[in-house]
Amino acid sequence: MMRAAALWMVLLTVTGCLAGSEDAAPARIQWVQNLSEGLKLANESGKPAMLFFTADWCAPCLELKKYIFTDRRVVAASKRLINISIDADSNYETLVAYKVRGIPAIFFLNPLGETIAQYTGDRSAGSFVKQMSAVADKHTR
């Protein structure tokens, strides 16, 4: 009897019934860490890009990464974009090129790499989904 119970537990674990579902894994945006690579992907795919300027020491950036960019709705909307994350500390030229005065800063680019909008609105998941979806609806080729 004990052997059957142990075998049953092993079977449930192996089949995933006790191991947890894939839904339990935190959702993540797929980021490209290089501007040139991200712009190339946007151009090739015909998708607009979301350009996120961040730094390890930036508390609001860390909050966005932890609470907003892991929201399943935001992750789903991000799949319609090429998502580019730029480290503000090691990409000064890019900061200057986009006239970034403070971080976090988020820009939306068309598939050709031209700035079409800067993120406006509160830092809620709903606001991000709304703006990301509007950019994707209007600027996907």
Q: Which residues of 6-35 are buried (b: 16+ CB within 10 A; e: fewer)?
A: eeeeeeeeeeeeeeeeeeeeeeebebbeeb
pTM over 0.85: no
Instruction: Please compute the mean of the pLDDT values over residues 21-36 and round it to a whole number.
Output: 78
CATH number given to 22-139: 3.40.30.10
pLDDT at 121: 77
Banded model confidence at residue 24, pLDDT cuts 50, 70, 90: low
- Per domain, the residue ranges of the chain are 22-139
Q: Looking at per-residue confidence, does 119 or 24 come out higher?
A: 119
Those residues with Cβ within 8 angstroms of residue 22's Cβ, 6 or more apart along the chain or in another chain: none
